[in-house]
């Protein structure tokens, strides 16, 4: 018989990493760290370490994929072989391909795609270390990298997940909670426009729990959005200091 998983919330109401149910993991962000990309961002979300690079808008290859009325956004999500405990194959997995599509569709509403017809914008997301919630952290980093590239945007996209563990709705699931918890609800949000660009659910929740998880995830997105803006400002504040 397999060993029953340990309790994810203790008697004091704290999770395995000491967080309260509605608490985010520690988050650090930085933009403009790749000199060869048009825009770039790095995020450390809990133990996740993710790098995003943006190239474009530029001529699209192959040319037959170009659209006459807008740019084509292409995102590639990839997990490095050393990003998880057991070595991952460097070849794109079905999950990598699915998440590439999810990230693309989460970011498209935020960009003025019609400004650059017959071109392409490529976003490369490399997960260097994974610890649950990589799709949300990747969306957050990719949106920052797009802003750093100077691409006209309606708003930044911030992403965060909520979920259910030990019959409790919690914010920002880490790896163990994600694997043995009861549900996971990733959300991507444009706070300035009050618009959700991604809403997924894996697991079983009641209608009341879905509402609670969504509201909790949106609060998390709001906090991440503030950190995104601070990361962008920090880059230009340092540029100003150098020029003065």
What's the mean pLDDT in 111-120? Answer: 97
pLDDT of res. 26: 97
Q: Indicate whether 128 pLDDT > 70.
A: yes
Full strand arrangement of the beta sheet holding 39-45? 27-31, 39-45, 48-59, 119-129, 72-79
Does a structural domain hold residue 189?
Answer: yes
234 Ramachandran zone, left/alpha/beta (phi>0; psi -120 to 50): alpha
Q: Indicate whether 242 pLDDT > 70.
A: no
- The number of residues in the chain equals 244
Structure tokens at 112: 């003025």
DSSP sequence for 21-76: TTPPPPEEEEE---TTSSEEEEEEETTEEEEEEEEEEEE-SSGGG--SSSPEEEEE
Does a structural domain hold residue 14?
Answer: no
Q: How confident is the model at residue 32 (pLDDT cuts 50, 70, 90)?
A: very high
pLDDT of res. 4: 46
Does a structural domain hold residue 10?
Answer: no
What's the mean pLDDT in 195-212? Answer: 96
The CA distance from 219 to 227, in Å, is 13
Structure tokens at 130: 């994974």
Does a structural domain hold residue 106?
Answer: yes
Question: Total domain count for the chain?
Answer: 1
**In this prediction, what percent of the chain has a pLDDT beyond 90?**
85
Q: Indicate whether 89 pLDDT > 80.
A: yes
Q: What is the CATH number of the domain that holds 109?
A: 3.30.230.70
pLDDT of res. 86: 87
pLDDT of res. 126: 97
Q: Tens digit of pLDDT for each residue in 8-20?
A: 888 888 999 999 9
The CA distance from 39 to 104, in Å, is 16
With tokens 């979920």, the residue in question is 163
pLDDT of res. 241: 62
Does a structural domain hold residue 3?
Answer: no
The CA distance from 134 to 99, in Å, is 9
What's the mean pLDDT in 46-53? Answer: 97
Q: How confident is the model at residue 236 (pLDDT cuts 50, 70, 90)?
A: confident
The CA distance from 148 to 231, in Å, is 10
With tokens 């190239």, the residue in question is 55
Q: Tens digit of pLDDT for each residue in 149-162?
A: 999 999 999 999 99
Helix, strand, or coil here: 240?
A: helix
- The β-bridge relationship of strands 27-31 and 168-171 is unpaired
Does a structural domain hold residue 57?
Answer: yes
Q: Indicate whether 85 pLDDT > 90.
A: no
Does a structural domain hold residue 9?
Answer: no
pLDDT of res. 2: 41
Q: Indicate whether 5 pLDDT > 70.
A: no
Eight-state DSSP code of residue 149: T
Q: Which domain holds residue 53?
A: 27-243
Q: Are 71 and 160 in contact (CB under 8 A)?
A: no
Q: How confident is the model at residue 1 (pLDDT cuts 50, 70, 90)?
A: very low
Neighbours of 114 (CB within 10 A): 11
Nearest of 143, 240, 234 to residue 192 by alpha carbon: 143
Who's near 38: CB < 8 A, 6+ residues apart?
A: 54, 55, 56, 149, 150
DSSP H helices in 73-206? 94-107, 134-148, 175-180
Does a structural domain hold residue 22?
Answer: no
Of 1 and 169, the structure prediction assigns the larger pLDDT to 169
The CA distance from 159 to 124, in Å, is 17
């Amino acid at each position: 018989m397999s060993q029953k998983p340990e309790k994810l919330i203790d008697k004091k109401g704290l999770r395995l990493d000491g967080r309260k149910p509605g608490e985010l993991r520690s988050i650090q962000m930085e933009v403009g760290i790749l000199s060869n990309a048009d825009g770039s961002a790095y995020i450390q979300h809990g133990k996740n370490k993710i790098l995003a690079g943006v190239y474009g808008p530029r001529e699209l290859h192959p040319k037959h994929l170009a659209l006459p009325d807008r740019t084509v956004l292409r995102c590639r999500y990839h997990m490095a072989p050393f990003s998880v405990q057991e070595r991952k194959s460097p070849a794109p997995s079905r999950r990598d391909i699915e998440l590439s599509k999810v990230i693309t569709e989460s970011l498209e509403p935020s960009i003025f795609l019609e400004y650059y017809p017959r071109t392409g914008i490529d976003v490369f997301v490399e997960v260097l270390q994974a610890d649950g919630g990589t799709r949300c952290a990747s969306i957050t980093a990719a949106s920052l990298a797009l802003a750093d590239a100077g691409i006209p945007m309606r708003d930044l996209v911030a992403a965060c997940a909520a979920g259910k563990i030990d019959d409790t709705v919690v914010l920002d699931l880490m790896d163990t909670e994600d694997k043995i918890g009861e549900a996971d609800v990733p959300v991507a949000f444009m706070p300035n426009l009050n618009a959700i660009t991604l809403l997924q659910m894996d697991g079983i929740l009641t209608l009341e729990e879905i509402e609670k998880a969504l509201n909790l995830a949106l609060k998390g997105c709001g906090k991440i959005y503030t950190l995104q803006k601070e990361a962008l400002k920090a880059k230009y504040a340092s540029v100003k200091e150098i020029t003065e």
